[in-house]
Structure 1
Amino acid sequence: MNRLADATSPYLQQHADNPVHWWPWGPEAFEEARRRGVPVLLSVGYAACHWCHVMAHESFEDDVLAEYANEHFVAVKVDREERPDVDAVYMEAVQAATGQGGWPMTVFLTPDKEPFYFGTYFPPEPRHGMPGFRQVLEGVTAAWRDRRDEVAEVAGRIRADLAERAAVYGAGTGAVPPPAEADLHQALAGLSRTFDAKRGGFGGAPKFPPSMAVEFLLRHHARTGSEAALEMAGRTLEAMARGGLYDQLGGGFARYSVDADWVVPHFEKMLYDNALLIRVYLHHWRATGDPLSRRIALETADFLLDALRTPEGAFASALDADSVDPATGKTAEGAYYAWTPEQLTAVLGAEDGALAVGLLDVTGTFEHGTSVLQLPADPADRQALARIRARLLAARAERPAPARDDKVVAAWNGLAVAALAETGALLDRPDLVEAAERAADLLIAVHLTADGRLLRTSRDGRPGPNAGVLEDYADLAEGLLALYSVTGESAWLDLSGGLLDTVLVHFTDPASGALYDTADDAEELIRRPQDPTDNATPSGWTAAAGALLGYAAYTGSDRHRTAAERALGIVGALAGRAPRFIGWGLAVAEALIDGPREVAVVGPAGDPATAALHRTALLATAPGAVVAVGEPGTADVPLLADRPLLDGRPAAYVCQHFSCDAPTADPAELAERLR
């Protein structure tokens, strides 16, 4: 029978009615394969994945194909967003064997979890040089039945190869020094070589939002004054905001652009992309005052609240790429977002319709004469644009909406907490700070267990069964530190410290300071995943380094700072070779080299002078600067301890390694010290 009905994952729920007898990942499935003497068919995907839906409709809903799969395999479904450790291990094998990867990921395993045949999407029949899925199943069945020794040999070689790869990051070989100035200049030069000066971004199509690399560029400019770094960051941010990647009506960014010009997106909208982009657009505004970046940060924050906030107060994972096209009644990618000139005229009338066609570049940029809306330039008549956007947004709301993956992922919500807290504080939106606090409350109440460990997901306020991985601890710790800097509530700092203590105890190699993606007491896979490079989100490794460094700056903890420095050793090795994929580590390295600056603001709560100093400190562009605010005599936050008022007035202290300049009561002087 199909065993997915009780799953907390919306992706697994999508497959609960398949005729395939799916099992969730777990020891029971592999024991069943061992009992029956058959291989495991592992299928990995996620709810917003277009090609996952395609393969499901073509193959997993086919009764004849399902009957064959049920007879010859134990079929296991995994939501890669619930089990990133399982996904990472087998995706590494897929990429090593085939030179490419993607989802859905299809892997055939022995009952001992060893992979021996791989693929991604398979069509139901042979097509474009790809074998049909039935052919694949029959081929694997024949190999398992007739050439079992050969299968075992292949599986053993793959397992050995993965074990060799696991040693590449130096666990157990001793600490490596953190990156130096020369490493960061090498990284800047590497990014310059791949920068697309005409279109923004790095490399060619497809183009993904390079949030972590842009954060590094902004921090590098702030510390060194590099105009090249600021130019690359600004050009990229503007190109993404004006193109089809950005939803010009409802705000928020799609997952990536299929072309090099940022015109045609892959339409799924992910929480993690939008949380990261809110923060980087906010930081660009903070550095330059750019009104476009300010608008995009606010609109994207509003998108999170309007489209992704759950009834419990946290944030859902994603909106689907597909929705029902009202014209055909069939599901199609981008149907919710694309327009024709005729549709614009029907909604707006002839005059505004013609204006909208020109403003929003409706020239057949997508499929079947439809267009993704763009905004190549801000019009002189901003009121006309606002009127057009409001009417089109109302009309679009009448279309069938994309499905929402409403599971709550701890790591991605941590990113959202940081983004909303900072945006609310800097752009005078207290509702955004409140939303960040509510999300953090949900994560602590539902995801944090009594023994201080995190669960990765929840849904409808019900915790999921899977243990948190490194990025969950690191990104939530980062979010709580940002929330503390904005609110001054020390409970957030204490909770962050508890999460980071778990990182030190359960995720860190004691000999080298290298970090693992799973805890030392997590489920044993064919290898323990470990990857310092960024993917769609900051790597757990470097995100943890950043949170450890920030926590050390607040508390003076040598233990946490040393752990951050040891974790950053890998960044120097990768800075020159792969700067696009170690962007968050480079950004943290900028903070390390800058100190980071530690700002203690002391003064009565509610005093306008205290608020002015606090806001000035939050506006500082010094890389990774931490900000603590509290009443005089505060003792529970070490950075605030023994910091008196200045002649009875609120005062700010700028420190590095807890060595402080003379206090100032003047916001302008504070801003100058934080340049």
Structure 2
Amino acid sequence: GVTEAGNFEGKNILFLSELPEDRAFAAEVSLESYLDKLSADVEKLRASRELRPKPYLDDKVITAWNAMMITTLAQAGSILEESRFLDAAITAAEHLWMHAWDPNEKHLFRILRDGKLSESGKLRDYAYLSQSMLTLYDETGDELWLKRSQSLVDSMVEKFWDRQQGGFFSVTENDAADLIARHKDRFDESLPSGNSVAASSLSKLYRRTGQHIYARLADQLFQTFAAEIVQIPTSYGYTLKALQDHRDGSIGPLEFAGSGSVRVSVRVAGRSDNRIQTIVEVTLADGWHVQSNQPLADNLIATKISSVSEDWQFENATYPPADEAYLSFQTDPLSVWSGTVQIPVEFKTAGEPDSALQLNLQLQACNDELCLLPENVQLELPLGLVTG
């Protein structure tokens, strides 16, 4: 009960020492009556507390922090098949783009509060937001997000890139005027560094647009910090992940090929006993095509799927009918796919799988003027998705 001595630093903190059922029994009243009285007492306490000065509320919107949440929501919406998460990510991204980005000056602000902008964006704001826009592009296929990410990255390079030694500074030259030194945010600690996220965005933009300038900048960035990465690799965890993806290509349920002209994804369509049915979807940009699984000449690269998982055996793929096409530089007909192609693929496992389902898609992207080099695109479905 309440005492003069109190129960915490000379004051009384009220709490229920017994269950409501026990208190009602001891007072010889019904539980309903006891709860009604308890509710009335709680309302009196709440009214009294409302008279106290309220603590300050930090209600500012920080661009980089919101960008991280946008990335998380977009990925969660896809993995958990929760459209409300993806909708929330899109709403937040639209809000930041409309209110924190100045399209005329190509300038991003860091803080938004009560409709007012303050503090120029730092490297992390540009890098994190560009990454979130790329994630939305991957999850929706809407090129608007790709273009917005590209605008952010182009501005980031213009404002933060060190043209003498490589890598990105943390602040712009103007913001560094009063600083002793212009720092580079490079260590991956509780949050990925601005440079590591920037490197990831550059690499992903290259794979999605085919513009080599982004690949060259990513290469230079990794070279800038190479000596430190070798000496203290534990301080560059996210950077090393970005480097691996840049060098070998990332592996997941969504990948890109053909310098961004081909988008490839895989999803689970069904499960039965020791089998899993998947859908591999290949989307080609306008004007591009790939050979079907049965090309009409021996020197052409067939588009085919195979398994690269030890636990999963390729059973069959149901390839769709192909179109007959003629190219400007070839007189013989071709058996090709264009637009969006869906290929049902079935795999089986002998027992309880211990690894993710990985598959390989062989293809060669071509248009009416040229063919790019043949590619092997690796896709992966995490173990949790394939086993349900």
Q: Deviations over 1:120-174 (max 9, x none)?
A: xxxxxxxxxxxxxxxxxxxxxxxxxxxxxxxxxxxxxxxxxxxxxxxxxxxxxxx
Report if the CA contact (8 A) 1:532-1:570 is conserved: no
Aligned to 1:650: 342
Query: How far apart are the structure 2 equivalents of 1:615 and 1:578?
Result: 38
Q: Taking structure 1 as reference, are residues 574 and 440 closer, same or farther at Cα in structure 2, changes over 3 Å only?
A: same
Letter of the aligned partner of 1:517 in structure 2? S
Q: Which residue of 2 aligns with 1:168?
A: none
The letter of the residue matching 2:342 is P
- State how 1:318-397 maps to structure 2 within 5 Å: 343=15, 345-346=17-18
Structure 1 SS opposite 2:205: helix
**Separation in 2 of the partners of 1:523 and 1:663?**
43
Q: Residues 528, 663 of structure 1: CA spacing in aligned structure 2 closer, same or farther, 3 A cutoff? A: closer
1:504-519 alignment, distance < 5 Å:
504-519=157-172
The residue identity in structure 2 corresponding to 1:615 is R
SS of the residue 2:267 aligns to: helix
Give the superposition deviation at 1:413.
1.1
Aligned to 2:210: 556
C-alpha distance in 1 between matches for 2:82 and 2:157: 35
CA 1:487–1:565: 2 relative to 1, 3 Å: same
Unaligned 5+ segments in structure 2 are 1-6, 24-41, 258-263, 270-279, 293-318, 322-340, 344-359, 365-371
Q: How does 1:471-490 map to 2 (within 5 A)?
A: 471-490=124-143
Relative distance call for 1:667 and 1:576 in structure 2 (3 A) is closer
Equivalent of residue 376 in structure 2, options 661, 671, 675: 661
**Counterpart in 2 of 1:441?**
94
Partner residue, 2:192: 538
Q: Which residue of 2 aligns with 1:130?
A: none
Matched with 2:241 is: 587
CA distance in 1, matches of 2:57, 2:362: 45
Larger-gyration structure (1/2): 2
TM-score with structure 2 length normalisation?
A: 0.57
Percent of pairs identical after alignment?
25
Q: May I ask how many residue pairs the two structures share in their alignment?
A: 264
Contact kept in structure 2, 1:480 and 1:496, CA below 8 Å:
yes
Determine the structure 2 residue equivalent to 1:263.
none
Tell me by how many angstroms 1:528 deviates: 1.8
Cα 1:613–1:589 change in 2 (3 A) is closer
Distance 2:135 2:229 in 1: 26
Residue in structure 1 matched with residue 255 of structure 2 by the alignment: 599
Aligned partners of 1:654, 1:468: CA distance in 2, in Å? Answer: 42
- Larger proportion of helix: 1
Give 1:406's aligned residue: 59
- Kindly indicate which of the two structures has a greater share of residues assigned to strand: 2
The answer to whether 1:429 aligns with 2:82 is yes
- Which whole-Å CA distance do the structure 2 matches of 1:658 and 1:461 have between them? 50
Aligned to 2:222: 568
Contact 2:100–2:110 (8 Å) recurs in 1:
yes
CA contact (8 A) 1:553 1:596 kept: no
SS of the equivalent of 2:198 reads helix
Q: Is the 8 A contact 2:64 2:128 kept in 1?
A: yes
Corresponding residue to 1:499 among 121, 142, 152: 152
1:206-285 equivalences under 5 Å are none
Aligned residue runs from structure 1 range 10-159, under 5 A: none
Matched residue SS, 2:112? strand
Answer yes or no: is the 8 Å Cα contact 2:185–2:193 preserved in 1: yes
Decide whether aligned partners of structure 1 residues 579 and 631 sit closer, same or farther in structure 2, where only a CA change above 3 A counts. closer
Tell me the amino acid that sits aligned with residue 582 of structure 1.
Answer: Y
- Give the whole-Å Cα distance in 2 for the aligned partners of 1:644 and 1:425: 30
User: Match for 1:436: what amino acid?
Assistant: A
**1:634 aligned to 258, 264, 285, which one?**
285
Deviation (angstroms), 1:662: 8.1
Letter in 1 for 2:320: D
Deviations 1:540-562 (A, max 9, x none): 11110111111111112211011
CA RMSD of aligned residues (A): 4.3
Q: In 1, Cα distance between the equivalents of 2:186 and 2:147?
A: 26
Q: Is the 8 A contact 1:599 1:653 kept in 2?
A: no
| Deviation (angstroms), 1:592 | 2.5
* 1:615 correspondence with 2:271: no
| Aligned amino acid, residue 569 of structure 1 | Q
SS for the counterpart of 1:518 is coil
